[in-house]
Structure 1
Amino acid sequence: MEPVKFNYEYSRKIRVGFIGCGAHAFRNVYPTFDYAPVDLVAVCDLNQERADIYKKRFGAEKAYTDYKEMLKREDLDAVFVVLNFDRNGHPLYPKIVPDILKAGIPAWIEKPVAYTAKEAEDLVELEEKTGQFVLVSNKRYFYPSFEKAKLILESDPFGKPVSVSGRYPLTLSPFQEELGKRTNLHWFLDICHPMSGIHYLMGEVKEMCFIEHQPSGNVQTLLSFKSGAVGNLELPSTQADTSPFERYEIIGNKQNVLIDNGMRLSYYKGSKGSGEYGKAPSYIGDDPTDGPVHWEPEFSLGQIYNKNLFLQGMVQSVNHFSNAVLNGRKIERATLKDSLHLTKIFEAYKNNRSGKWITIE
């Protein structure tokens, strides 16, 4: 995890431009600069009034309505891009990011990166050609709960992860025979949320098979990983609003890790009390220090880890990117290649009928 300082404590900062002045950026991205080595030079939005508001609110020097003009006029070390979808529900990043990379500037962008794997592949090729890099902010690569779970998974006592079970509410629209694909998948683009977490912990998917219930759009998916591990992902669109939103459990060698609601981390290890069947006097292990461990945030203290910007890994994502730019190195997580893999999984749902095994190339 990158060390955290307040913005004013950094002796060196990167000069950045920001494309997009929307509500999501206002809540979740601009405020992260308070904890990152970032000097906000310019903001850009199609709406001049909104750009001026964000310029004043977040301390930028300039406000633009044309991002190409901003790239041309300003001396920038990096660009942040947070945009909505087009009228078809497709991400706009494939239309904007190439201009940034061709200008010789690395980019931090929101997810999802693209609607098609071809678009994502083109960005990966351009990234390699220009020598720049793009971080796609799939947050679960930076959640504290996922980061610590990964450390446990990589420890010798846990052993090699052999299976995973996940749950995240999404709706899959019906397959349209006349088109040979599914449409109206704007919200289903959020498959990158659960799959980025599973990808971070388990590695790349080799094959998958899903079945669906219509008209609810509920889905059950079996996963086979390149590592040899197996898993399942439940997408229950009709679950109760009051239920925990998401859940992931990874099984190793007689040990389990559970991430509940993105926040509570449980590490199950050790054994129950000794004694023959039917006569065991205690459910607590003979060595009580070798037993389950549970972590969750407390909200009584004025710690930064209680802020949503940290609980959801937004600051960590921005810091990972900013420090890479500052120190002239490439990023290690949430890369374009990671997002390409997630987009291929999205396409597997989009372009296939349920009930068959699909190879993720």
Structure 2
Amino acid sequence: MNPIKFNYEYDREIKAGFIGCGAHAFRNVYPTFDYAPVDLVAVCDLNAERAEIYRKRFGAENIYTDYKEMIKQEKLDAVFVVLNFDKEGRPMYPRIVPDLLEAGLPVWMEKPAAYTADEVERMLEVEERSGQFVLVANKRYFYPTFEKAKQIIGLEGFGEPVSINGRYPLTLSPYQEDIATRTGLHWFQDICHPMSGIHYLMGEVKEMCFIEHQPSGNVQALLQFKSGGIGNLQLASTQAPTSPLERFEVIGSNQNVVIDNGMRLIYYKGSKGSGEYGKAPVYIGDDPADGPVLWEPEFSLGQVYNKNLFLQGMVQSVNYFANAVLEGKKIERSTLRDSLHLTKIFDAFKQRSGKWITIG
């Protein structure tokens, strides 16, 4: 990523509208505009009082309670959309995003994109027909640790990424034979978090098989990638809340890269000290500079890189989107088609466990 600029340092900015004035957007999306080429023109929320609070707080000019009126009245270059779930726990983006695309507006939207792959496919049809694009903010496509891990995986010395293992805390509700699916999957839609990171590092999943433990909701999933690589994902519902939330490790050719707790990157390479087995006196390599490398942020300095908005890639995703709009280019990362793949995996977890499932 290029060195960051503050909002007032940009020569060109996109004029943006924002749909949604909720707590998540307040904490994690609106503040990114301080570091991005975004001129917030208008905000929209069903609650006019809340919209007015956000207008004042984040410097917009106008408020609306109807997004169709906003895109009709304002001269916008793009729209940001951060919505809650409906009463059934399903994302509401499929109801709104097509209208924005058909109005000729590129869209930055939060994840998850939809409850079913069919809904994402319908949004894709509109995206392709409109000539616009949608960035779905699956953050691990932009985490600094994941970006650098992908860079390491691409090194000649790393070799082909052979396997990956991951751990993330999610609870899978029991399969219901009478309706041949699962219910209560509102929070399990967060499967897009670990799977977007795995997808970014390993590519698309060809097929998968999972087993579950009930009533805990713990899951072990085996993954076969289209590249030929393999992997497993442990969804550890009952892990200690005090433990690091997540961990991923990719194995190459005598090299490994580990992402621990989202912000610690460890690159294992090199060799141990020379000597035959049982007689080597030193575990440190003959060339101590050619060995494991560990990166983690310090929190003592007033830097932007140790802020959560950067550690979780939120600023990076907004900048990537805004610059694509300014340059008139389509995005290649964190796309709606990427979300289609992730939603197909979510759909697979709705099925009965213990069988291999093809991810189309």
Q: What corresponds to 1:37 in structure 2? A: 37
CA distances 1:202-222 after superposition (whole Å, capped 9, x unpaired)? 000000000000000000000
Question: What residue identity is the alignment partner of 1:174?
Answer: P
Residues of 2 paired with 1:336 and 1:111: CA distance?
Answer: 10
Residues of 1 paired with 2:192 and 2:245: CA distance?
Answer: 15
Residues of 2 paired with 1:261 and 1:2: CA distance?
Answer: 24
Q: What corresponds to 2:330 in structure 1? A: 330
The DSSP-based 3-state class of the residue aligned with 1:212 is strand
Alignment of 1:141-180 (within 5 A): 141-180=141-180
CA positional deviation for 1:125: 1.1
Residues of 1 paired with 2:115 and 2:281: CA distance?
Answer: 58
Residues of 1 paired with 2:124 and 2:65: CA distance?
Answer: 27
Q: 1:334 to 1:192 in 2, by over 3 A?
A: same
Matched, 1:77 2:90: no
Q: What corresponds to 2:356 in structure 1? A: 357
CA positional deviation for 1:38: 0.4
Residues of 1 paired with 2:6 and 2:242: CA distance?
Answer: 36
Q: What corresponds to 2:306 in structure 1? A: 306
Residues of 2 paired with 1:66 and 1:6: CA distance?
Answer: 31
CA distances 1:97-117 after superposition (whole Å, capped 9, x unpaired)? 011001000000000000000
Q: What corresponds to 2:263 in structure 1? A: 263
Q: What corresponds to 1:249 in structure 2? A: 249
Alignment of 1:165-314 (within 5 A): 165-314=165-314
CA distances 1:247-289 after superposition (whole Å, capped 9, x unpaired)? 0000000000000000000000001001111110000000101
Unaligned runs of 5+ in 2: none
Question: What residue identity is the alignment partner of 1:103?
Answer: A
TM-score using structure 2 length: 1.00
Residues of 2 paired with 1:312 and 1:203: CA distance?
Answer: 21
Residues of 2 paired with 1:354 and 1:56: CA distance?
Answer: 50
Residues of 2 paired with 1:146 and 1:284: CA distance?
Answer: 28
The DSSP-based 3-state class of the residue aligned with 2:158 is coil
The DSSP-based 3-state class of the residue aligned with 2:305 is helix
Matched, 1:67 2:67: yes
Q: Contact 1:2 / 1:319 at 8 angstroms: preserved in 2?
A: no
Residues of 2 paired with 1:82 and 1:259: CA distance?
Answer: 28
Residues of 2 paired with 1:316 and 1:2: CA distance?
Answer: 10
The DSSP-based 3-state class of the residue aligned with 1:157 is helix
Residues of 2 paired with 1:152 and 1:166: CA distance?
Answer: 18
Residues of 2 paired with 1:84 and 1:5: CA distance?
Answer: 30
Q: Contact 1:43 / 1:55 at 8 angstroms: preserved in 2?
A: yes
The DSSP-based 3-state class of the residue aligned with 1:258 is strand
CA distances 1:178-229 after superposition (whole Å, capped 9, x unpaired)? 1010010000000000000000000000000000000000000000000000
The DSSP-based 3-state class of the residue aligned with 2:221 is strand
Question: What residue identity is the alignment partner of 2:295?
Answer: W
Q: Contact 1:108 / 1:135 at 8 angstroms: preserved in 2?
A: yes
Residues of 1 paired with 2:232 and 2:333: CA distance?
Answer: 23
CA distances 1:121-163 after superposition (whole Å, capped 9, x unpaired)? 0111110110000000000000000000000001101011000
CA positional deviation for 1:2: 4.2
Residues of 2 paired with 1:349 and 1:234: CA distance?
Answer: 13
The DSSP-based 3-state class of the residue aligned with 1:111 is coil
Q: What corresponds to 2:140 in structure 1? A: 140
Aligned residue pairs total 360
Residues of 1 paired with 2:254 and 2:276: CA distance?
Answer: 20
Q: Contact 1:271 / 1:285 at 8 angstroms: preserved in 2?
A: yes
Residues of 2 paired with 1:110 and 1:180: CA distance?
Answer: 29
Question: What residue identity is the alignment partner of 1:302?
Answer: G
Instruction: Tell me whether 292-301 or 2-11 shows the greater mean CA deviation.
Output: 2-11
Residues of 2 paired with 1:218 and 1:86: CA distance?
Answer: 26
Aligned-pair identity in percent equals: 78
Question: What residue identity is the alignment partner of 2:140?
Answer: R
Unaligned runs of 5+ in 1: none
The DSSP-based 3-state class of the residue aligned with 2:31 is helix
Q: What corresponds to 2:46 in structure 1? A: 46
Question: What residue identity is the alignment partner of 1:26?
Answer: F
User: 4+ residue stretches of structure 1 with deviation over 3 A?
Assistant: none
TM-score using structure 1 length: 0.99
Residues of 1 paired with 2:130 and 2:276: CA distance?
Answer: 66
CA positional deviation for 1:167: 0.2
Q: Contact 1:2 / 1:320 at 8 angstroms: preserved in 2?
A: no
CA positional deviation for 1:3: 3.9
CA positional deviation for 1:4: 1.7
CA positional deviation for 1:243: 0.8
Question: What residue identity is the alignment partner of 2:191?
Answer: I
Residues of 1 paired with 2:321 and 2:3: CA distance?
Answer: 13
Residues of 1 paired with 2:306 and 2:346: CA distance?
Answer: 32
Residues of 1 paired with 2:182 and 2:167: CA distance?
Answer: 22
